[in-house]
Amino acid sequence: MEENNSNADCQTFSEYKGICFPTSIQTPESLQYSEDFDVRDDDVFVVTYPKSGTTWMQEITTLIVSGGDLTPVKTIPSWQRVPWVESITGKKYLENRPSPRLISTHASYSIAPKKLKEGKGKAIYVIRNPKDVMVSIHHFSKFAQFLTDMGTLEECFRNFVSNKAQLTGGSWFTHVRGWHEHKDAPNIFIISFEDMVKDLRGSVKRIADFMKRPLSESALDTIAEHCTFSSMKKSPMANYSLVPNNWLDHNVGTFMRKGAVGNWKSEFTVALSEAFDTVYAKKMEGCDLKFVWDVAELDE
Q: Which residues are catalytic?
A: 106
Per the DSSP assignment, residues forming a β-bridge with 172 are none
Report CA torsion sign: 92, 120, 75, 54: positive
Instruction: Give 3's Cβ-side CA count (13 Å radius).
Output: 17
Alpha-helical (H) ranges within the chain are 28-35, 54-65, 71-75, 78-81, 90-94, 114-117, 130-143, 153-160, 172-180, 193-198, 200-210, 217-226, 229-233, 270-283
Phi/psi class of residue 103: alpha, beta or left (left: φ > 0; alpha: ψ in -120 to 50)? Answer: beta
